[in-house]
Amino acid sequence: MVELSVEEKFIIDKLKDNGGELKYKELQTVCQDEFEGVRLILKKLKEKHIVSYEGLIPGFSADIKLDKVS
């Protein structure tokens, strides 16, 4: 089982609330009052194979998709 930070859990919950997919810009807006560093957190989640998106770091127009939750 993969250990998740509070921020990672928050992002996963927001993706679940939106059908498992959000644009990066929308996700950034939702997270901005809670914490900073959304791109870095998404990169860690991608390395854990929990989310997917194009490229190494998501751009503003990237689609963030929830792949799995452990």
Can you tell me the distance from the alpha carbon of 35 to that of 53, in angstroms, rounded to the nearest whole number?
21
Q: Both tokens of residue 23?
A: 């644009």
pLDDT tens digits along 11-24: 999 999 999 999 99
Longest dimension (CA), the chain: 31
* Model pTM score: 0.90
User: Does residue 70 register a pLDDT over 60?
Assistant: no
pLDDT tens digits along 36-57: 999 999 999 999 999 999 998 8
pLDDT of residue 42: 96
Q: Both tokens of residue 10?
A: 């928050």
Residue at 58: amino acid letter: P
Which residues pair with residue 66 across a beta bridge? 51
Q: Which domains does the chain have, with CATH numbers?
A: 6-66 (1.10.10)
Which residues pair with residue 51 across a beta bridge? 66
